[in-house]
Amino acid sequence: MASEITYAEVKFKTEPPAPVVKVPPETKEPEHHPQKYPLWLPWFISLLLLLVCLVLVVILVLPFRHSSDQPGALQQQQQQQQFSEWVCNSTVPQGTERGWTCCPKGWRRFQRSCYFLSLDKMTWAESEQNCTGMGSQLVVINSKAEQVFLSKQIKKDPKSVNFYIGLFEEKVGQWQWVDKTPYHVTAAFWRDGEPSASTDENCTVMHVPEQSINNWNDVRSDVMHNRICEAAVVTV
């Protein structure tokens, strides 16, 4: 008997692939570091800087303020810090800034310069050094008006005979002002017969007894005389 063959139909159900779920990466928690300085420190530093600025304003600005009568506090120039008293004159209407011209007390003012006429005597080199130490120089005479003014001033002290000025002979016949201002013989005020031909008289004085404004003499530098120092006026 022939064998029976049984057929079975098998169907496979194709399942769709499982969905892929994307998981976001784990966010890393920020690390907490311990605070290295207190919260008030930046405020303290800012306050300190503000105080420093205020101190600088007081030091640099207030000395230049002045009242309606006289400057309240005159800031002394760097080269004139040794002067503690000043005499000031107002050159503009009251209330206008920078309207005072000042000279150290005891100095005499003419135009834009202050003049110191010494009572003691020194050699020419010592006189130059003394003027420089006061922030000035031996006087340089630039005009007839200045010569006339100084000629009147030196006569106010009858005990003085000669006053050194800032004119010297660099070489024989070559006169030179201490500030390098060009020397012009046409603007010089020599006495008759001066300067002499002597080679050892290489410095200049104003001779008090001379009645005219032509009162310059050349003298030896090692002789002791009075001196005239000149500085620019201070404007505040």
Give residue for tokens 């006429």: 117
- What's the pLDDT at 172? 87
Contact 140, 230 (CB under 8 A): yes
Domain assignment of residue 170, yes or no: yes
Contact 153, 146 (CB under 8 A): no
Domain assignment of residue 68, yes or no: no
Model confidence at 95: pLDDT above 90? no
Mean pLDDT of 25-42: 61
Per mean pLDDT, which range of 19-23, 178-182, 202-206, 230-234 is the poorest? 19-23
Model confidence at 17: pLDDT above 50? yes
Kindly state the greatest CA–CA separation across the chain.
177
Domain assignment of residue 156, yes or no: yes
Report the DSSP pairing between strands 226-232 and 162-171. parallel
Domain assignment of residue 41, yes or no: no
Host domain of residue 163: 111-235
Please indicate whether residue 236 or residue 61 has the higher confidence score (pLDDT).
Answer: 236
CATH number of the domain enclosing 163? 3.10.100.10
Per-residue pLDDT tens for 101-113? 999 999 999 999 9
Model confidence at 10: pLDDT above 80? no
Closest to 127 measured CA to CA, from 232, 219, 233, 234 = 219
Separation CA 159–CA 157 (nearest Å): 5
Contact 127, 205 (CB under 8 A): no
Please indicate whether residue 130 or residue 159 has the higher confidence score (pLDDT).
Answer: 130
Domain assignment of residue 42, yes or no: no
Domain assignment of residue 157, yes or no: yes
Please indicate whether residue 214 or residue 28 has the higher confidence score (pLDDT).
Answer: 214
Please indicate whether residue 38 or residue 1 has the higher confidence score (pLDDT).
Answer: 38
Contact 98, 118 (CB under 8 A): no
Domain assignment of residue 38, yes or no: no
Model confidence at 7: pLDDT above 70? no
Q: How many domains does the chain have?
A: 1
Model confidence at 61: pLDDT above 80? no
Q: What percent of the chain has pLDDT over 70?
A: 68
Domain assignment of residue 210, yes or no: yes
